Amino acid sequence: MRIAQPEGTELAFSLPANADGILPDRMIAAMEEEGLILPAFPFVESQIQPASLDLRLGEVAYRVRASFLPGPDTTVAERIDELKLHEIDITDGAVLETNCVYVVPLLESLALPPSIHASANPKSSTGRIDVFTRVIADGTRRFDMIAAGYHGPLYAEISPKTFPVLVRQGSRLSQIRFRTGEPLLDHDELEDLHAHERLVDCDDADLAGGVALSIDLSGEGSGGFVGYRAKRHTGVVDIDRRGGYAVDDFWELIKARPDGSLVLDPGEFYILASKEAVQVPPDYAAEMVPFDPLVGEFRVHYAGFFDPGFGYAGAGGKGSRAVLEVRSREVPFILEHGQIVGRLVYERMLAEPDTLYGTRIASNYQGQGLKLSKHFRAPT
């Protein structure tokens, strides 16, 4: 199946007949070469990930009165004009304050063919510092979802919840995946994949609706600690600064309780880890999906993409824990060790990526246990 521009000019970029899968790194690069992805500036090193593309902030952030969706027949720019309080030049860096809503035009826009659709998610490091971010497109009714055939700009809605953050033009808070067809594995396919690849390191894996992940509150293997609780009234976190901050200045360690429980306080932000170690085989990708809110008064604010090779032995992993960003809702809620808090769904890749998530591309969280974002120095 050849992909053509609307005016009928045939492109060299092509997909196999009846293509069904997530596009890998080399095909994302080919999309840019053929004008299906339109960056304002050339891609930078590591911007193309094994199964996704990092999206970069543009030069201005608009402080708006409230979050919004443009809806049909309306552009994001039109809604910004109606709702903006002021605009901030972030070319050389600016601080985004907590509990404010900002909208930032991205440096990447799209000219998708009818056969390719896309979805976005926060990057892992974004979620782990409690920065709520979503991607918006013109005329859309849903956040983070880009319809097949979309031609137009992309925007990031950003709202820091715990720490004020310093961002600048080129900062990367979100990532986007491109799909063709319906690559999601059904229950039988997921069971077959687990039988061959052992997606989680437990003998009684719950695969109903995706691979169930439960919370680890045992403290085993982490010095008797089960997680971190964010401190209030801290300094600013520079989004682009690696290893620049002492853990103690921003986080409190949470010790394991003898009964394996943890009381979540309303409004507080926690970093916890899954009991299960996860792996993603090279020709698949995974995504954390929303968990049923009826099972408890908490939510998992997660960065949902798991790239091919995550936790995979051939890519330098031995199974990697899923790190979970957790908040209680309006009331205190007790989590118990082993309680299910999320599910991973698996999707087929259209082809195996040239480079897997892992040590060769200095992936931040390969082989991770309970781990904070890359912004914080490892304890010595």
What DSSP string describes 15-63?
Answer: --TT--EE--HHHHHHHHHTTSEEESS---TT-B-SS-EEEEB-SEEEE
Q: Do 231 and 290 lie in a common domain? A: yes
pLDDT the model gives residue 11: 47
For residue range 206-240, list pLDDT tens digits in order: 999 899 999 999 988 778 999 999 999 999 999 99
The range of the structural domain enclosing residue 312 comes to 187-348
Residue 19: φ, ψ to 5°: -60, 145
Q: Do 173 and 214 lie in a common domain? A: no
**Buried-exposed string 16-29: b where 16+ CB fall within 10 A, e elsewhere:** eeebebbbbbebbb
Task: Tell me if 297 is assigned to some domain.
Answer: yes
pLDDT band at residue 5 using 50, 70 and 90 as cut-offs:
very low
| CATH number, position 168 | 2.70.40.10
How far from chain centre, in Å, is Cα 124? 5
Residue 18: φ, ψ to 5°: 55, 35
User: Are the C-beta atoms of 343 and 211 separated by less than 8 Å?
Assistant: yes
Q: What is the mean pLDDT of residues 114-133?
A: 93
Task: Tell me if 171 is assigned to some domain.
Answer: yes
For residue range 291-303, list pLDDT tens digits in order: 666 556 667 765 5
Which residues, listed in sequence order, are joined to residue 131 by a DSSP beta bridge?
160
Residue 162 burial by Cβ neighbours in a 10 Å radius (0-12, 13-18, 19+): buried
Q: Tokens 């824990």 label which residue?
A: 321
Q: What is the mean pLDDT of residues 164-184?
A: 97
Q: What is the mean pLDDT of residues 271-283?
A: 93
Q: Is the predicted pLDDT of residue 56 greater than 70, yes or no?
A: yes
Total domain count for the chain?
2
Task: Tell me if 51 is assigned to some domain.
Answer: yes
Q: Is the predicted pLDDT of residue 360 greater than 70, yes or no?
A: no
pLDDT band at residue 345 using 50, 70 and 90 as cut-offs:
very high
Q: Do 122 and 209 lie in a common domain? A: no
pLDDT band at residue 320 using 50, 70 and 90 as cut-offs:
confident
Q: Is the predicted pLDDT of residue 364 greater than 60, yes or no?
A: no
